[in-house]
């Protein structure tokens, strides 16, 4: 693991926000353009989408965007240092509704613990889905990993993605989790 990873990646020490599974990248591209004083890192499993997003960021001349193709849990576990990420965004993760396929879910394994380990104190995780049951399942995992459900706060304003437009006609469920100042369960020492 590179000790000063984010400086090596971005060449500055601005706060880093990570979007997991950005798809076409509507959210991260808009936020990066609006907040040049923050860095945005996308982890997208589909190499085709990751390449397209990297090209879109280059076309828009956004120096504060980087994209990596890979599985988020693996990238975090092997690449991202403890207490180094200001916020994670997970919007409309694939639901894998069949019981036999649940292990393929984004939060099917170690991801919540990796989020807790890598968040700065008071860092946040934002999750949205058209499926309230999926948000509830993710919530259980995040809380078990030591994050705190922050129920009084609404979602940060973000563009509606093509996916959201198509699948969330009945509404979007949102949850926000906070890494407390003392993170007993998610600390790197215990992983
Ligand atoms: C249903 S799409 C949602 C895309 C986008 N967030 C949106 O709201 O339009 C889910 C995205 O997550 C990506 N994805 C699925 N599993 C992943 C994983 N383990 N690591 C990183 N990305 C993943 C998929 O390739 C896909 O682009």
Structure confidence at residue 121 (pLDDT): 97
Which residue's CA lies nearest to atom 17 of ligand 1? 45
Identify the residue whose C-alpha is closest to ligand 1 atom 18.
71
Distance, CA 51 to ligand 1 centroid (Å)? 14
Indicate the burial class of 23 (C-beta count within 10 angstroms; 0-12, 13-18, 19 or more).
buried
Q: Which atom of ligand 1 lies at the shortest distance from residue 46's CA?
A: 25
Ligand 1 within 6 A of 44 CB?
Answer: yes
Q: Which is the closest atom of ligand 1 to the Cα of 75?
A: 20
Looking at residue 190, its pLDDT comes to: 35
Residue 103 has what pLDDT?
Answer: 87
Calculate helix-pair angle for 26-34, 47-59, nearest 10 degrees.
30
Residue 189, pLDDT score: 35
Instruction: Specify the DSSP element, H or E, that contains 42.
Output: strand 39-44
Cα(78) to ligand 1 centroid in Å equals: 20
Secondary structure tally for the chain: helices H, strands E:
7, 7
| Catalytically active residues, by annotation | 94
The CATH number of the domain holding residue 58 is 3.40.50.150
Q: Whose CA is nearest to atom 1 of ligand 1?
A: 94
According to the model, what pLDDT value does residue 149 have? 97
The count of domains in the chain is: 1
Q: Is the CB of 49 under 6 A from ligand 1?
A: yes
Q: Give the per-residue pLDDT at 19.
A: 98
Q: Report the candidate in 73, 70, 75 with the shortest Cα–Cα distance to residue 47.
A: 70
Q: What is the DSSP letter of 184?
A: T
Polymer length in residues for the chain = 191
Phi-psi domain of 140 (left: phi exceeds 0; alpha: psi -120 through 50; beta: other): alpha
Domain, as residue range, for 11 = 5-190
Q: Could you tell me the mean pLDDT of each successive run of 10 residues in the chain, 191 residues long?
A: 90 98 98 98 98 98 98 97 98 91 89 98 97 95 97 92 91 96 55 30
- The CA distance from 134 to 94, in Å, is 9
Q: What sign does the dihedral 113-168-166-26 (CA atoms) show?
A: negative
Q: Residue 191's pLDDT is what?
A: 30
| Residue 45 Cβ < 6 Å to ligand 1 | yes
For ligand 1, the distance from its centroid to the CA atom of residue 141, given in whole angstroms, is 18
The predicted pLDDT at position 187 comes to: 46
Q: What's the CA-to-centroid distance between 57 and ligand 1, angstroms? A: 18
Cα(140)–Cα(148) distance, integer angstroms: 10
- The pair phi, psi for residue 42, each rounded to 5°, is -110, 135
120 phi and psi angles, rounded to 5 deg: -70, 160
């Amino acid at each position: 693991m590179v000790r000063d990873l984010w400086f090596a990646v971005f060449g500055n020490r601005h706060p880093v926000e990570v979007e997991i599974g950005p798809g076409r990248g509507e959210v991260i591209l808009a936020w990066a353009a609006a907040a040049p004083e923050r860095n945005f890192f996308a982890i997208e499993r589909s190499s085709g989408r990751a390449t397209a997003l990297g090209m879109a960021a280059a076309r828009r001349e956004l120096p504060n965007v980087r994209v990596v193709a890979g599985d988020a849990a693996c990238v975090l576990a092997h690449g991202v240092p403890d207490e180094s990420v200001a916020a994670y965004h997970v919007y409309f993760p694939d639901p894998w509704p069949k019981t036999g396929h649940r292990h393929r879910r984004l939060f099917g394994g170690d991801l919540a613990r990796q989020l807790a380990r890598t968040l700065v104190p008071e860092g946040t995780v934002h999750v949205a889905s058209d499926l309230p049951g999926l948000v509830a399942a993710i919530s259980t995992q995040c809380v078990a990993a030591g994050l705190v459900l922050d129920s009084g706060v609404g979602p940060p304003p973000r563009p509606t993605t093509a996916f959201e437009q198509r699948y969330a006609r009945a509404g979007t469920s949102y949850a926000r989790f906070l890494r407390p100042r003392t993170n007993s369960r998610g600390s790197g020492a215990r992983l």
